[in-house]
Structure 1
């Protein structure tokens, strides 16, 4: 059909307007079922075209039988990776508060910046050589090495030797840390849009990590524990795990068949929530307070309706709730109100017995506003429950972002009722 030839790549903008794209019906339906986009529907005005609209996920994915879908973020890529780097390693980022916490090079697209950042961190991790460690090995051998596995020897060989079923500790580069790094490198090499220079450097890192076994598809990530020995690996490991959790997701509605997509997607809703809660938790420690992220509670006395505030500020011993915060990656409506958010915040304050609750948005017209709730004047001094709305402008420099969050943390600490 003339004018409806499939396109190899589609560029959308996070929460931007719908784009009409020529797609085969199967590719359009696959995108609609994937959950990658906010919406994917046939274009009523153009036969053979689909209207694609992006939501909160940014990055790039390659779909079976369809185009590469590239979704650009509203936030500058360097700032986006500052948020990611802070969430992964708050101690380092809070200390220097600069965008260079994650080196994205000169790239202004998510996937190239990510590939560059991971490769640079892996290169720094391997600067003093590939980390080695002891790993327990079980195998059949012609000579006895280590300990004889007596039960396996009897079960498999009726007690005869050789071969011998042995177990021993091997000093090897096939460690959990190296497996994670190698898996991240291999995932990045398969992503669409990785620049050639970065791809070549990633291939070099794969050679350096060749002694680590590749992960089996669907296998859980190997578990590693932070220690003095792997301290130089830790920045690379945290970013590598973020890559592996954000690549090749299976997005599908309940009951639908899985649709495999190959790529990397960052959910800006989750990224903003992680950044706000981790930053506030770190800042509240300066006031001698603790914080719990995703603190579980129930709305009703029967315990049937669950609720999880993003962050609950607690006393130093963690026993007494003092304040509650929810992060919202959205802009205010034209009238400045988001009623559903206010109702949710009021429910949190009511269940926790607090005189106020706080909402932190990624954008807004005023730095702070509050609403006093009718019929709740039984609080301290006869004042009703107050619902505060804070706005955090993500276009600001990292140092100013952290300063604004310190101010909010101080506001929480001053207002918190002391036990």
Structure 2
């Protein structure tokens, strides 16, 4: 198996991967439909990776790992550790040991680390005992067992009156949680290339051998029990969701079912920032993600048009106090207009008018880099509506508000910024 590691916006050339893998990637780049997120872009004789991160396997077995780009000199290990931390927070992945220790123990790709953690959780379930539940079974038998299905029995033809239509309950491990775990185990058994992971996955599959795999994933997730006797299954659920309900680009949903754990970095950063800010909010403030309270056009006939959905709003009761938008982009204080987008400011202006009635502050949040390490001077739409462009440090999980005379500091507990 060929392994290739790169970072966001890096280029893939023919010499980097096999000819078959490069041809397949070219096909993906050409198949993007209008309105869908771009994953690969033609750039001369190479292909440029856009803002998706994670793992991608080609049909010839080449495994491509894409890591986030936060600095020009960062090592793959640091980038992988950062991505792992963000996934842990956003997808609520449970840990029984420090992230650093897990990464040191499982040297290799993000996929193998994820598989190892998932298998550890399933091993704990097997050691505690696979839970069974009563399953209603309907059958035609030569004797009565359980309850006779009278209506069906009456409709029996004369030639089959000696057979009984019955139903009964049987205590079996065939329940939604076990079916989902079985499906996830089958997936990682095919995907993993690490010998220890493969061995453990096969052993665990043997323990689930009598249980069918889930064929209705969403329906089975809705049946996942939260009762007290299932509490030790709880830690495995986020891992199963991450494996089976993957945030993948459209083109990975076709016939090829290789590894496809890809995440849009913009959404991952947005949700990570929201999770960290929520932890720092003071009472009585609350953080709402993707609020849809207002539209750009309040009324056109009988309906509103062009819904406005800021990434985050801080509210006190029903009143919006602060609007925040997170952007996964590297700013440069030495560049023209710092690399900021005019379209983002048009968008924020609309948010400010609708959510703040034209009076207040808004935060435009970007990742902290060497070129963008402190809050910028304020951007005033007018004397009453202001935008602050603020760095968010992914190492310390701090919103770096110090140095700017913004009222936003009053909503949060101190991060101890240095």
TM-score between both structures, scaled by the size of structure 1: 0.76
1:70 aligns with 2:65: yes
Residue aligning to 1:381: none
Cα distance in 2, alignment partners of residues 167 and 189 from structure 1: 36
Post-superposition offset of 1:327: 2.0
Q: Whole-Å Cα distance in 2 between the matches of residues 415 and 82 of structure 1?
A: 25
Q: Shift in Å at residue 266 of structure 1?
A: 3.0
**SS of equivalent residue, structure 1 residue 122:** helix
From 355, 358, 366, give the equivalent of 1:361: 366
Q: 1:371 to 1:389 in 2, by over 3 A?
A: same
Q: Is the 8 A contact 2:393 2:399 kept in 1?
A: no
Alignment of 1:90-169 (within 5 A): 99=99, 105-154=105-154, 163-169=163-169
Shift of 1:204: 1.4
Displacement of 1:16 after TM fit?
1.8
The aligned residue for residue 271 of structure 2 is: 274
**Are the aligned partners of 2:325 and 2:363 in contact in 1 as well (CA < 8 Å)?**
yes
Give the superposition deviation at 1:219: 6.9
- Structure 2 residue aligned with 1:299, among 296, 306, 311? 296
Distance 1:182 1:258, change over 3 A: closer
Q: 1:12 aligns with which of 6, 9, 13?
A: 6
State whether residues 323 and 356 of structure 1, in contact with CA within 8 Å, keep that contact through their aligned partners in structure 2: yes
Provide closer, same or farther for how the CA distance between residues 131 and 265 of structure 1 changes in structure 2, counting only shifts above 3 A: same
Task: Give the 3-state SS of the residue equivalent to 2:267 in structure 1.
Answer: helix
Aligned mates of 1:147, 1:104 — CA distance in 2: 58
TM-score for the superposition, normalised by structure 2: 0.76
Aligned to 1:287: 283
Q: 1:19 to 1:128 in 2, by over 3 A?
A: same
Q: 3-state DSSP class of the match of 1:287?
A: coil
Q: 1:352 aligns with which of 351, 355, 379?
A: 355
In structure 1, the partner of 2:228 is 228
Matched, 1:374 2:381: yes
Unaligned runs of 5+ in 1: 1-6, 45-50, 378-383
Structure 1 residue matching 2:83: 3-state secondary structure: helix
Counterpart in the other structure of 1:390: 390
Alpha-carbon distance change, 43 to 79 in structure 1, aligned in 2, over 3 angstroms: closer
How far the C-alpha of 1:237 sits from its partner, in A, is 0.9
Q: CA deviation at 1:238?
A: 0.9
- Looking at structure 2, the residues matched to 155 and 329 of structure 1 have their Cα atoms a distance apart, in angstroms, of 65
Task: Give the secondary structure class of the aligned counterpart of 1:60.
Answer: strand
Structure 1 segment 134-283 matched on structure 2, within 5 A: 134-154=134-154, 163-191=163-191, 194-216=193-215, 221-223=220-222, 224-246=224-246, 249=248, 251-252=250-251, 258=254, 260-267=256-263, 268-283=265-280
Q: CA RMSD in A?
A: 3.8
> Is the contact made by 2:177 and 2:220 (CA closer than 8 Å) also made in structure 1?
no
